[in-house]
A and B are shown apart, each in its own frame.
Chain A
């Protein structure tokens, strides 16, 4: 390969303490020597993995910054890599990048450093995807899931299923080439049995996806309730800071508020809505419509009631909108009185809090967590968080059904094997085992410039 030396700013754009500019390729050292002079090593006789302070000569300014050289192959990309650490701010970082490009480097595309690492055998496709998930992680659990992907735990499971499948296909093929040993019916029964086993395995993996998705995208928690029951106070109490304006005038909160907090390493997205009641006010009506929509998208609903008053018609209306599975009834204002009677409802999760005094808030957070997170899954090595993986498994399950349906319809196994192959290919999309170019593209396209 006529490999160019590539460069990019690896730290996020914007103002920060320092910026890192990365340079990778055959000419990295040579290019660096043209623009950077180490203070104590003016003839650029540098050693790898040592930090050098020196002068960087950019076009319109000089900058005192740090430089380190990672010698091939002991670097992220497997090539010679030079990294500059300069003062933060876009002007300086851009100036340095410009100077490097003027001296022969080319601008790296998104994920190009990782692509090179991949070509040079520094990491596998799975690992590349794991790296990406870790970079984009917003919570500890997400980092853990990315790390497990990096460790190949999903690939291992999928490879095992593929191996079972390969054996099943081989058995069918044998009977085709040796017609004298034909056990079509027996083989058909065995195939159905085998596919059902595979389906169970895949469904088990898929089950981890809901937890996985929550870990990746965060769990959506919706706060519902008629006006003035203390929804905004509850939000503030959970977040532990003042976000929503709290007043005693009904309908203060007309926009939907969204805030995130983490609990036990999992990200939660908290949404407060307009007070939910039939309003004549057009603006407020829109807020209510939004809230009804939000119910459909929420993982957990906190239905807030004023404990000091008996249920009103409005409360009952709201209670009828939610189901008992993912709803927690939050009786607020328990510092006053408890006049709410829920005996005619069938809610499993009821909790008493005082948003004002921050009583019961930790308990509430734990309940929310327990509703969406299966600790067994979170502690196991295998959890899928990636949408691409989820889609592939769903596709595989569909092909598994196609196989079984075909056999039940009396289609001969030599033909049904087309579905078996599709099943195999769908699984290969997860591990990269079917060499699909689009998948490889997709994996790398998720990277940002500079990684």
Chain B
């Protein structure tokens, strides 16, 4: 029997596990990454894409902190677009089609080449705990790996079942083996185990799609990348296609709901409301005549095409009929069937915002096991769990991002304060201070923090400092006053009223029809600045008024966010709180008044009572 010592063990090598392990190793901890199958490292089990609304933000933030997802995504991008491009800068989100084969290979390469990181195939059976402190893990084979911190990133693999029609198989995604032993150990440690569900659509052979009748979806150039370290933006080398379901498809589904595991009682677990199966969409939005489907190539090295929006757990013969009812897919050959997958997960309310389990020191959880959905959400938790595990080992204060600092902060605060009863998906609307939380300024928000905790590399830090300097320099240059004569041509062309006296370049940029591109065109001296520097400053100038307003909102919320609540408070004694609030507060034990205010079931009136209570406490 093997018996080895590590600083930390990470269980699982999905998107959470990879970031957690890399963060630990890069912060100097000897780390063992255990995975059921080395071939499943960073596997894109569902969509061959990274990013999307709000998710693109998460990737940029992971990158700014010194994570890997953004770099690998840029490296393996085969097509990319900016969603919400016509809207404000805060809600624009990058979405990239990634080559799923390359994504796996590239991430595996990085893991293998990272100092302090040891990757190993093996299944964990037990987490060893002594005196409420984690000591290590034991595998199914009986091998022991001692560690001061353990990060559980088991994704959808815990006791997972794949369901297609009447057939239920104990299997992980894509035929990978499930992890059937660890749940019992988690239960023993006092964790509440829940069962969630998710699903994936069919993959069809590219040559059997009639593209001639479909709408092309091309990528965009000249948009930002995920990583601040990517020097050459990836090229758009593939096309995606758009098609729609139709009444015939809907009829097929509605007439066969008794065969749909989601509706005949076979699947009882909670599925993601924001990433529903096609049968859920058809039932819930009965008035809709059609639903969008995107056809996305899975990789350059394969002819498999992912049918986005067509997730289902119908029996295979119905899947065939459903696919064939769609324009362009009449003769499509299905290479992989769609399926639903059920798995064990925990209740994220049992975690601190560090993602440590409240009852056991050194035991962290990240990713889908916490009840989230999506690669990006998983990776974001992974990096935070990894960072906090490392800081815990190093005996340093924890690292928690606030809601006004990052989407990651919003994500983890939601999970540990509100909890979730369905797979949680990040959304733009969840972030209340989103004008500050943009993709373009993720490095300005987070790279210093990442550097301070020892995760950001010197190279990245240098690039960051350089960008900060450039931005300052440009802002300074924009203070220069320019005479009406010099801007006359530009203003005429852009249909702006020419001022009578000279104005600063900053004021020029404030005009609604004038953008940095125009500035560079008419005043080539600005072309020495990188596009991401120009864009950054343009946003700051054009949205100055709104940014100020939002900053005031943030400042006003600070008082509550900074008011700490002692874990000793027995809320059931405060009779002014409603019973539900007393119970929720006692269960979650929020760290601040701000966190308390976000607990569902705690009303503003309850918070007012708490505020007065705290004051009375302080005065007596």
Give the B-binding residues of A (Cβ under 8 A): 1-4, 73, 78, 106, 109, 112, 115-116, 118-122, 124-125, 170, 173-174, 176-180, 182, 184, 409-415, 418-419, 421-422, 425, 428, 431-437, 440-441, 444
Contact = CB atoms under 8 A, between A and B. Distances in A.
Contact of B616 (A112, A413, A435): A112
B458 interface: no
A317 B619 CA distance: 61
Contacts of B131: none
Interface stretch (B71-79, B86-94, B225-233): B86-94
A4 to B, nearest CB: 5
B592 interface: no
Contacts of B597: 435
B468 interface: no
A401 to B, nearest CB: 14
B576 interface: yes
Contact of A73 (B53, B88, B575, B577): B575
Given A3-B620, A410-B512, A179 B549 contact: no
Given A119-B613, A425-B556, 12 more contacts: A3-B616, A174-B429, A176-B53, A411-B546, A412-B88, A414-B428, A415-B88, A425-B553, A432-B604, A434-B604, A437-B611, A444-B612
B152 to A, nearest CB: 29
A273 to B, nearest CB: 45
Contacts of A179: 53, 83-84
10 closest A-B pairs (Cβ-Cβ)? A173-B429, A121-B576, A415-B88, A412-B88, A435-B607, A414-B88, A414-B91, A176-B428, A433-B604, A177-B427
Interface of B: 53-54, 83-84, 86-88, 90-91, 274, 292, 427-429, 432, 434-435, 512, 543, 546, 549-550, 553, 556, 559-560, 573-577, 597, 604-605, 607-609, 611-613, 615-617, 619-620
A418 B605 contact: no
A121 B612 contact: no
Contacts of B559: 437
B577 A121 contact: yes
Nearest to A419: B549
B616 A418 contact: no
Contact of B612 (A78, A184, A421, A440): A440
A374 B573 CA distance: 47
A435 B612 contact: no
Given A109-B619, A118-B576, A176-B429, A435 B611 contact: yes
A36 to B, nearest CB: 24
Given A119-B574, A418-B553, A432-B605, A409 B429 contact: no
A116 B512 contact: no
A104 to B, nearest CB: 13
A156 B54 CA distance: 35
B88 A118 contact: no
B245 to A, nearest CB: 14
B620 A422 contact: no
B611 A415 contact: no
Contacts of A410: 512
A313 B412 CA distance: 80
B612 A414 contact: no
A428 B608 CA distance: 12
Contact of A125 (B86, B90, B91, B605): B605
Given A412-B88, A418-B546, A428 B429 contact: no
B607 A115 contact: no
Nearest to B54: A177
Contact of A119 (B549, B550, B556, B612): B612
Given A106-B620, A116-B616, A180-B292, A432 B608 contact: yes
Given A116-B616, A118-B612, A432-B604, A418 B560 contact: no
Contacts of A413: 87
Given A106-B620, A121-B609, A415 B560 contact: no
Nearest to A1: B617
A176 B620 contact: no
B41 to A, nearest CB: 30
Interface SS of chain A: helix, strand, loop or mixed? helix
A433 B615 CA distance: 19
Contacts of A125: 605, 608
A174 B87 CA distance: 13
A415 B428 contact: no
A418 B608 contact: no
Contacts of B54: 177
B293 to A, nearest CB: 11
B612 to A, nearest CB: 5
Given A184-B87, A433-B604, A437-B559, A177 B613 contact: no
Residue of B429, B597, B608 with most chain A CB atoms under a 10 A cut-off = B608
Contact of A120 (B53, B576, B604): B576
23 contacts: A1-B574, A1-B616, A2-B620, A73-B575, A78-B575, A112-B616, A115-B616, A120-B576, A121-B576, A176-B84, A177-B427, A177-B429, A179-B83, A412-B87, A413-B87, A414-B87, A414-B434, A421-B432, A421-B553, A422-B549, A422-B553, A437-B559, A437-B560
Contacts of B543: 415
A91 to B, nearest CB: 29
A415 B549 CA distance: 11
Nearest to B291: A180
A446 B295 CA distance: 65
A415 B435 contact: yes
A177 B616 CA distance: 43
Contacts of A177: 53-54, 274, 427-429
B609 A118 contact: yes
Contacts of B615: 115, 441
Contacts of A115: 612, 615-616
Residue of A4, A180, A419 with most chain B CB atoms under a 10 A cut-off = A180
A314 to B, nearest CB: 53
B541 to A, nearest CB: 14
Contacts of B292: 180
A180 B613 CA distance: 47
Given A174-B429, A179-B83, A435-B608, A119 B576 contact: yes
A412 B605 CA distance: 33
A116 B616 CA distance: 8
A418 B549 contact: yes
A177 B57 CA distance: 13
B609 A414 contact: no
A188 B559 CA distance: 33
B468 to A, nearest CB: 25
Contacts of A441: 615
A415 B546 contact: yes
A437 B560 CA distance: 8
A399 to B, nearest CB: 9
Contacts of B608: 118, 125, 432, 435, 440
Nearest to A114: B612
B53 A1 contact: no
B583 to A, nearest CB: 15
